[in-house]
Structure 1
Amino acid sequence: MLDHLVYAVRDLDEGMDRIEQLTGVRPARGGKHAGRGTHNALLSFGGDQYLEVIAPDPDQADLPSGRGFGLDHPGAARLVTWAAKAPSIAERVKRARAAGYDPGDAWAMSRDLPDGSRLEWMLTRGGGMAGDGLVPFLIDWGNSVHPSTTAPGGVRLISVRAEHPDPEAITAMLAALEVEMDVSRADEPALIAALRGPAGEVELR
């Protein structure tokens, strides 16, 4: 089941402006990913699902390793990947490997919130964007409050689909992760979400 969509942008304020223009609701700043070189803003879809707008953090210029989600050299704003819920993440990783797909080990991550508190979670590799970003990383929020409960709402996620030159390969990886998505054949990979908000219905890709 989908946890959140990842929308990568060059500049966070510009990304927030863009989402507000498209949906009619402005995302709220989430915080900084310390040591990862990124910061984000969030928009809730309700039902423990949300949109993450993520961008390079100018306050974290020097990093021992690169930023994920292609943000070392960001291009045009786009949906780059997504996260799937995995409450028992270690067991999900084990089952996926048994099914022939390795999502990577689960590791801890955190984000400093604007109020000074810290949000913590576990996830598998996400910044590498498996399957051209169409195969999700797994995420386990543990005892943390889910971000969708505090982010601005009013926008609904209608559907998510994908396009890829090799839809069979993508579908096989999704099946190993025990998730489903409509994947159609196309010349270029794309993750496509249909949203409905105060500004009407929009397709985000």
Structure 2
Amino acid sequence: MTIDPQLDHLVYAVPDLAAAVSAFAAATGVHPVAGGRHLGRGTRNVLVGFGGSAYLEIIGPDVELPADDDATVPFGVDTLTAPKLVTWAVHPPDIEAAARASAAAGADLGPIGPLSRRTPDGDLLEWRLASTVPAPLDGITPFLIDWGTTAHPATAPGLPALTLVELTATHPDPDAVPAVLRALDVHLPVGPGPAALTARLDTPRGPFVLT
């Protein structure tokens, strides 16, 4: 299948980042590289590229720098008991228009806000985000990101890469999800069933599935 060109990244949230990195590397033959810390929010991430301007984010608790007392931990990482492909992001050409369209179609992502993090090399990445917790429609519809003038993380030198072969979903209300996808002009095959995303990857050690 063709992966939507607006795909920015998949979010694989885990309760133990070190354990998840080891398991992913053992299963795929590719070792994710450090992305950075989300200071004050209690999380850090590692990345694997998909080629172009898309990547996989594996995000988990930052055991050394926990969240501020009044912070919302991204993607419910602090409540996870097992790894999960929780949602995905797209980079629309106009994030304000996309946020309005998503809300009108039934997936209100809340206000667009600025965020930033430092890479391990000290470079500052800045972006704008429309995302809320809990995610509307169980995270099956995407949240929105705009990197502005920041270099896209998928283009970072030395980022290991895998091939994203397919991204599909199921949802108990499969009619509601396509309405949002149409409003955002993005494509995702959705069938009936429990809320779930499934990513099929081609790796040096063969096919690998994230759910």
What does residue range 160-171 of structure 1 map to in structure 2 within 5 Å?
Answer: 160-171=167-178
| Distance of 2:128 and 2:67 partners within structure 1 | 24
Normalised by the size of structure 2, how large is the TM-score?
Answer: 0.90
Q: Which runs of at least 4 in structure 1 moved beyond 6 Å after TM superposition? A: none
Question: Which residue of structure 2 aligns with residue 11 of structure 1?
Answer: 16
Specify the SS of the correspondent of 2:50. Answer: strand
Deviation at 1:179, TM superposition (A): 1.5
Q: Structure 2 counterpart of 1:158, which letter?
A: V
Structural RMSD (CA): 1.6
| Distance of 2:195 and 2:106 partners within structure 1 | 22
Alignment partner of 1:114 is 2:120: yes
Alignment partner of 1:85 is 2:91: yes
Moved more, 139-148 or 11-20: 11-20
Q: Closer, same or farther in 2 for the Cα pair 1:81/1:126, shift >3 Å?
A: farther
Deviation at 1:129, TM superposition (A): 2.3
Equivalent pair of 1:5/1:51 in contact (CA under 8 Å): yes
Q: Structure 2 counterpart of 1:172, which letter?
A: A
Moved more, 188-197 or 55-64: 55-64
What does residue range 1-205 of structure 1 map to in structure 2 within 5 Å?
Answer: 1-63=6-68, 64-99=70-105, 101-150=107-156, 152-186=159-193, 188-205=194-211
| Distance of 1:62 and 1:29 partners within structure 2 | 19
| Distance of 1:200 and 1:36 partners within structure 2 | 35
Corresponding pairs, count: 204
Q: Structure 1 counterpart of 2:177, which letter?
A: I
Moved more, 136-145 or 170-179: 170-179
Specify the SS of the correspondent of 2:65. Answer: coil
| Distance of 1:8 and 1:101 partners within structure 2 | 21
Equivalent pair of 1:31/1:114 in contact (CA under 8 Å): yes
Structure 1 unmatched ranges of 5 or more: none
Equivalent pair of 1:81/1:135 in contact (CA under 8 Å): yes
Q: Deviations over 1:67-111 (max 9, x none)?
A: 021112122111000001123211222343455543322110111
| Distance of 1:38 and 1:102 partners within structure 2 | 24
Q: Deviations over 1:172-196 (max 9, x none)?
A: 122222222100111x211000100
Q: Structure 2 counterpart of 1:152, which letter?
A: L
| Distance of 1:126 and 1:161 partners within structure 2 | 22
Specify the SS of the correspondent of 2:75. Answer: coil
Deviation at 1:123, TM superposition (A): 0.9
Q: Structure 1 counterpart of 2:19, which letter?
A: E
Q: Structure 1 counterpart of 2:138, which letter?
A: D
Question: Which residue of structure 1 aligns with residue 3 of structure 2?
Answer: none
Structure 2 unmatched ranges of 5 or more: 1-5
Specify the SS of the correspondent of 1:46. Answer: coil
Deviation at 1:23, TM superposition (A): 1.8
Deviation at 1:7, TM superposition (A): 0.4
